[in-house]
Structure 1
Amino acid sequence: MRACEEAAVAGVLERAGTGEDGVLLIDGEPGTGKSTLLTRAAAQASTRGFGLATGGAEELDRLIPLNPILSAFDDMPAEDDPASEGLETRLERLRIHMEKRMATGPLLVTLDDLHWADPATLMAVRTLQCRLSSRPLAWILARSTGGQRHEAERLFDVLERHGAHRMTLGPLPDEAVARIVADLLDARPEPELLAFASGAGGNPYLLVELVDGLRDEGAVEVAGGCARLLSPVLPRRVRVLVRHRLDGLGREARHLVEAAAVLGRSFSPDDVSELLGASPAMLLPALEEALAAGLLVAVRDDLAFRHELVWRAVLTGLPRPLRLALCHQAERCSGRADRLGGPDDFGRFGRFGHFGHGGAGDRDSSDISEISDGVAAGQERFALALLLADARRPDEARSLLGTAPATPPASATAPAPAAETGWTDADRARGQAVLRARTALASGRLDEAAADARTCLRADGTPATGLIGSLAASVLVTVALRRGDLRAALAHAPARSPGHPSVRACPGGDDLIRSMASGRVTEAGEGAERAMEQMLRDDVYSGLARHPWVLAGEPGCAVWLVRVALRTGDLRRAELVATALDRLPAGHPGVPRAGVSHARGLIDGDPRALALAADRAADPWSRASAEEDLGVLLCRTGDQAAGIESLNRALAGYGESAATRDTARVRRRLRQEGVRRRHWSYADRPVTGWDSLTDTERAVSLLVAQGWTNRQVAEQMFISVHTVAFHLRQIFRKLDIRSRVELTRLAVEHSA
């Protein structure tokens, strides 16, 4: 108990012990700790020799007269015929029973949640308190404030006028919040976690639900005696708690609170009136109800949500289409876009909810600096250009990058390494090359994509540091993997950035991109388990909470991360990816809305979400990826005909994207479903020599030249070991060789 509460309880018990009238009244909004105070008061009274009678009201008790107080005295003998017993008779029996209890010592009666109590109970409390005022009897009564005015408030007013001590439980101070968080997690909370917990506004119940939810959902990490916030996303139990409070409002008040949430945590009555198309006078009853319920408070000339977490929960609880529509309407009404949105849609990406309605040049540098958290200073404009390129708007992307200032403004969100504080002509040229590479990759022009990406490498062929180098290496890895050339993918897999001996210590956005590129190579060669080990070592999944923008800048990686998590049985980390995707603004260019549906479809096993992802996909490869997962799911759930159709569409999409390895994988899936398709093509080739080899034979040759066994080649090409052996015999015959050593020599010569 806090000091003032402890003193108040001690005072009422002291007075009652000497035969004086002792009544303590406790007000407080839901969750402020009234029930905990009653429990501790009972424990303190017990040590003083008091007898105890503890009861409380529930919502349905309004239908059962006297039930809260009768539940406190469940040791009272039952009447032979309770149905014939009148109210006055029950009160007299209660008085007699209480006097018998007090004959052996003082008595403490605690009644909780009296805002739910029926009028008979409230009358009984007042009557018994008057009749037994000279006895060693203490009363501690508690009720929740908020909602409509109830008879319990009138009872408290009457008792206070007759000498009862009344106190209101307020929010916990910051030091108490820190102690509670530390006790719940058994670790010292870091400042970021405490800052997030401050959104509970010192409400103990809301605070406990938040911390327990973060722990249960894996959004907080305890290591070395410290607790670190991994994902600043509201836990489900907090959202459910707030939804329950909203459901307690009337229809008009609930709609007002939900609409007001898009205006920000604080807003003016004029703004919400304009948004709802009603005068302030018409909204007065709904506003009064929301204020009485404790959801809103008056702050000078504005209104505000009492708790930041409640505001966030109300906002994120709105269906995304409705939330965006309300944001758009509010922006048109007020013309103040900087006040709109919320923690999910606009908190990290700044004011870009409507980007694309005008030209790229309409955005000034102050907007550019707010694109994302974790982008190095001077590269925010480049990050936005990437989103435009991925949205298949290359002209706007190139225009935006071409107008970048030589010395861009420093980001307000992340300090930059010295080497990246400005843009030179060389930086601008490399940035344009990456944009061209990504555009070519989306269109299936792999040679062109690889050529542009290579211009961003160092002179020795290794990836450059920073965001541009990471993205260029990622393009080269993707091209190699789609072609099934694991040796090239390994060569291009980027290492950790200099200055980051342990990425886990503080992974930046470019570190995550590098780790995902390397992880895809590991998964292709060694399987999902090894890839997951690498992702955990590099802190990729939890890093997405700090840098969700990398999922917008790396289409396909979000779905790949979900697949790896599901294949290793780690549903929690799959949900972390979906949560990071949900934090990206739906109206922002380049944000992979198809990727959101694709990830959710994989996690939930939902064919409708996967079909929606295939329909929304911006490029053939992404569409084929969603069709493949849809086909696999349909075949597994028994709809083989529809599944085979989806797999055939995936096969066509991968073919359009020149994704040889993906095509081979889908062919194997079709074979497993009993479908065999002729996939060779006729061409005028020599009878012997390297040029006589088919595409499949060349692929086998390159893998064998890398030292792979027949079984490893079969796994990479999604064919049987016997088929690999057959192709090798054909290769040896056409090249007139007898050993793998000779094949390796020829393969190296022709690769060069």
Structure 2
Amino acid sequence: MSPDRSAGQGAATGLSRPGLRGREAELERLRALVEAVRDGEGGAIALLLGEPGIGKTVLLRETVAIARAQGFVVSHGRAEELHELAPLASLASGLLHGDPPLLSGTDLADLAGHHDQRIWLVERLAQLIEERSAGTPVLIAVDDVQWADPLSRFALSVLPARLLSSPVLWLLTGRDDPELYGQGSLTTTLPLRPLPDAALTELAHDVLGGVVPEHVAELLDGAGGNPFLASEMLSGIAASGADGSEPPERLVLGVRDRLGTLRPDTLHFLRIGSVLGRAFTLADAAALCGRPASGLSAEVDEAIAAALLHDDGERLLFRHDLLRQAVYADLAPSVRRALHREAASRLVAAGRSSADAVPHLLKSADPGDQEAIRLLDEAATDVIAVMPDLAADLAVRALELVPSRAPMVFDVGERAIVALTRAGRYTQARDTGDTLLARQPPLDVFARLQSVLGDTLWHLDDVHELTRRTTAALAAVTDPVIRARLTARQALARSRGRDLAAARETGERALAEAERAGDREARVLALWGLGEIALNAGDCAAAVEHHTALSVFDAAFLPEEAVARIHSDDFDTVRRLLRTAGDDPRRPAMLIWAQGTLHMGLGRLDDADADFVTAERLEADLHVPGNLVNIRVNRGLLAMLRGDREAARQHLDVVRATVADRPNTGNHAAHQYFGAVVADADGDHATAAELIRSAQRDHPFLRWRLLRPHVVQAVGIALRAGDRNLAEDLAAQAAEHAVRNPSVPTAQGTAAHTAGLVNADHAILERSVRILLTGPRPLPLAAASADLGRALRAAGDPSATAALTKAHDIYARAGADAEADRVRNDLERATRRSGRRSGGPRSRPHQGWDALTASERKVARLIAAGHTNRSAAETLFVSPHTVSTHLASIFRKLSVRSRVHMVRIVLAEGDAGTATDD
């Protein structure tokens, strides 16, 4: 037995301790998890669930002791009921403590500087923990996680999965609903059941010594198998010298007996403390008692002597939450409510933040309470960026306290609409706004409410209603700022309409009004609307102009500039933009979407797929899947290029379900086109052509930016279906797009390519290839070269071989196995090779080292060389989020759970390449 292991076992011996009786099996499972993480098996999550007093905390502490003996760095924190407004308080409570601490004060200050950016904060926290665990296993324990603040809950739902490759064990205790705490396939859930009679008898023997009288064993039935209740009853018997013959109701918890012997002042002090929470400061209790802290020493001493409180040097704590609840339950509801309200007022008077006072207000405020309304409103504003759901709850509660006829109802209601929209609760935001509008506010208030509802309706994809409402509000508004915002919202809505010329006029008017009014929000909206209008119109230069101006004005819109530049073939600038934005915490999902779009344009299909997976995961983390249709359509098209039709169909199913929830015209067009590609591959060309026509019914095919790179494929579908009119219509749209974008090689080359296909003219196809050679996109070049080669082969021209070879090589390098295989067949016919084909697409296996993509091999080598996710990302010029996605795929393909196992495989492969040579 190793020294470490024996030390760990020594820490866990002595099961005579009350909290461990009957928990031997659970403790052994926890010990096994500690040893597995220590031995390099990867990360793990353990959930201890059960009612108060059932033994969760005792098991957690024992596991902490075992882990410390095994050499773990330990973070041991606790969530507290009245701290839900303090961002990250529950998780951070343990990160700075310990010997040594998991994080330094400098680390936490760095995190606090970005506390309003959830994804960035969690990613940075993951990096710090990953770096800390590189040479030493880590245990992160959080007790009473049911009270965790929303940011800690968010972190706990994301971090364990993010760090599963690192030696990190997460140990969480809670009362119920494990889904709140980030369950996954590697989560061990331990529900703690009531102790059996045998364990209770052993517990009685531990406390009382000797043979346990039968009537004491019967008395323990009143504890319901709860070890804390049983211990309290037994302690009461032992302390009083009673023989246990008293009726159970006099001994339950032993608390009422103890309270009955306390002096009235001590009892009052404890009740005040129970209102403040399980842990409270003497100063806060003194303020609420209306006495100086120095005058409460006798009360504190008596409460500690009665084993009700514990003094940790900074705060007073009830020894168990059940004790606090027992004291709290002795207060009449009206007294409780009054004490909470008084606590809030005194905390505010003492200069404490709204975060300290608001939890008490939520339990006590009555309608019309002006101070409560103000503080709830203030707290909602403080937390909206980092905890939007909590902000929405606070803002709605503030609105509920405002009398319906009070003038302030509209101001408070407006902030509630904003908070609900930020939280993604769009339907509730719209309903809240409509309730306020039904009260017939003054015209300017009506216009202001419609302005904030504009964001809600945009997210609901209800552009028709957005247009109707902005038009009505503009007829009533007099405030120039609100007028500018409404006009900008109207321009944004019209970017989805048919008349883009009129939309552009509206956007230009909105920008002029915004500049005259000097309103930042109106200017952002106007520039955004103008950029969207230009992109939808296919005017790439104007789109770049507006989106560049927008991202200079507000860097959060850098992804929009990147996408506009991708449409302009300005890939070099996009690379620089994405590199400089690497540490920008805002809108990470959109940044990675832009990166994926760039990689797709560059023909780096594996990187693009990883980016799209990452973007989808980030949107799912934030519960705002606004880009899911586009992500899955692109992933499906990538699957088709690789020859994986089953994966493509799975993506199509997700797209179909998502479009049913978000039925805007852009989603409809993308869905129909993707369905057409799948149908065409299945040989159902007529259905495929009908789906292409369906995509055009609302707007021309080229209107939808996602579809522009695929117009050549759409023309091919139409021709295979024998629908020449559709093919000519699509080619005409490509020609118009080329006229609007004379400096964009892809636009020019695509127009020539479609014309060459429609006219069966290999001279035009040759021109297409020449033009596309000057652009940055290899896949359109490969497609044009392939079609040129086929046309030349049909004409008996021997130069077909060169064109087909070029196409095959480009497709093969990109990993477009299905297309490479098709061209190889054409090449064999062109060179008059005979015999059977060597097989289907040369696809990678699903498992093992050979299953890894080139990018995954790079990541594996870098991690094997000692890089963290962050340093690997910097080396590869990608996001750490994308490296995390690659690692998850690597582990799945290699059937490993940790970096240690992966490194062994990398070394065993003896792969001679460097991390960046693929």
TM-score by length of 2: 0.37
Q: Which has the higher helix share?
A: 2
